[in-house]
Amino acid sequence: MKKRMLARSSFLICCLLVTALTLAACSTNKGSDPKPEESAGATPKTKIAYWTADRHDMDYMQKKVDEYNATNTDNIEVEMKVMADNYNQAVEVAFASNQAPDVLKIYDFQTYVNKGYLTQLDGLLSADLMAKFDGLLVDNVYKLNGKVYTLPNTGQFWRLLYNVDLMEKAGYSEPPKTLDEMVDAAKKITEQGKAEGIYGFASNFKSGSGFTRPAFASGTLDSETGHEGYNFQTGEFDFGMYRDISEALRQIKVDGSLLPGAESLDIDPLRAQFAQGKIGMYVNHSGEPAVYSSQFPTDINWSTAPVPTKDGVIDGVSWVNATGYVGISDKSENKEAAAKFVEYLYSEDLRVDYQEKGLGLSVLPFVNEKAGKPELKGIEGFLPTQYDGIYPATPLSITETKLEGKKAADLFNEYILTGNQDIEAVISDLNSRYGKALAAARSEGLTDIKADPSFSAKKLQGTLGK
């Protein structure tokens, strides 16, 4: 009896799964049922499915998609679907089952291209549109082997966020420009406010980003040759570019200027403390104004500044995290219609309005030249300057799949928080282990990123703003 009941239950579960998959297949974004006018003999619309995982702007973008559907003269109808979690897995399943969308948000560029998900945009999009991206289409981020598969749109811009009142109380009329000034300001803010639970500096050292947030921001400004510990000119890893910022953060810890409990601090608790006026400075990106507008509303007087460098001189550009925006499926049967919709997504009016509403900061000069001040409080300090730029991709993530031992971010975290190792020993160890891992990754064909002796981050200055 029990066996029959189990067998019956298993059968019912299988039936339910098959039914669910069938319904999902029928409802995949290939368009809705025919409308009455289509059934009555009107020219059928070309249906385009558009997938994204962006939720912060979904109401705005749905409105814009609706406007496109109502006004375009090409008889195109777009259905936008905002996916839940596990977007990349959903994309993989969709392509494997021949149910891929026509237009899709790009979250893993090299994987999407290498698996044949994306079609080449050169020749598909208009020459006028493509000309607007001259000088921005860096390798392994937007193009591969000379072919363009996606285009830039918005990005994360990194700054030093600071409490203006605490900084002035500590004797600083302007934010620090050098790392020594940052260390000194953190110490003085702490001396002034420790009795009230106020500390000069914080970073979310619960994870490796406690190191990478300030280090990537300062290190790239301070280096003409590298990013993410990778030297573009030599084609090898050289973590010496993070020596100065690591020593500065270590000194802040030694001075007692680092928020207590930073070793277990996550980013949201850090933000909550900053919103309460308990932190003098920290480093993060242009998503913060939205946080202090809604998630952690605050009345404190805060502002932003370029992240300090060793001597206040900027030899490179501040890294802008600007992945590709959308791509067109290589499996799409409506590539030309999809291309028309992509051109609409990049239309000047849409992109300018998007930025002015504070939904994201554009990396596109033709947008920033036209856009007025965004509505979101505090966002003006993150607007692109001549010292922001988009770097070519590095082989960091691929290299770490072959790495033996601790990752760079974890080892730097340990140095900053404990000082157990000499900084030179840390750098030497990382260069050696990452060098071996990179060689292994190259020998297995996992990356084709090679040395570029002509690379200079100074050439990136002025590409995004003035």
Structure tokens at 352: 């300018």
Question: What DSSP assignment string belongs to 232-280?
Answer: TTTTEE-GGGGHHHHHHHHHHHHTT-BPTTGGG--HHHHHHHHHTT-EE
Sequence-distant (≥ 6) Cβ neighbours of residue 365 within 8 angstroms:
463, 464, 465
Structure tokens at 241: 């570019």
pLDDT at 121: 97
pLDDT at 17: 34
CB atoms within 10 A of CB 67: 12
Beta strands across the sheet bearing 103-105: 76-82, 46-52, 103-105, 326-328
Task: Please tell me what DSSP assigns to residue 463.
Answer: S
Q: Which residue has the tokens 């050098």?
A: 178
pLDDT at 11: 40
Q: Distance between CA 159 and CA 247 in Å, rounded?
A: 19
Cα–Cα separations (whole angstroms), residue 275 to 162, 291, 300, 301, 401: 11, 10, 7, 10, 37
Domain annotation for the chain: domains and CATH numbers: 41-151+323-362 (3.40.190.10), 158-320+392-460 (3.40.190.10)
Relative to beta strand 302-305, strand 279-285 is unpaired
Q: Which residue has the tokens 């730029």?
A: 389
Q: Distance between CA 89 and CA 93 in Å, rounded?
A: 6
Contact 389, 216 (CB under 8 A): no
- pTM as predicted: 0.84
Q: What is the pLDDT along the chain (466 residues), one digit of tens a residue?
A: 433 443 444 443 334 333 333 333 333 344 444 444 444 556 789 999 999 998 889 999 999 999 999 999 999 999 999 986 789 999 999 999 999 999 999 988 988 999 999 999 999 999 999 999 988 998 889 999 899 999 999 999 999 999 999 999 999 999 999 999 999 999 999 999 999 999 999 999 999 999 999 999 999 999 999 999 999 999 999 999 999 999 999 999 999 999 999 999 999 999 999 999 999 999 999 999 999 998 999 999 999 999 999 999 999 999 999 988 999 999 999 999 999 999 999 999 999 999 999 899 999 999 999 999 888 889 999 999 999 999 999 999 999 999 999 999 999 999 999 998 899 999 999 999 999 999 999 999 999 899 999 999 999 999 888 7
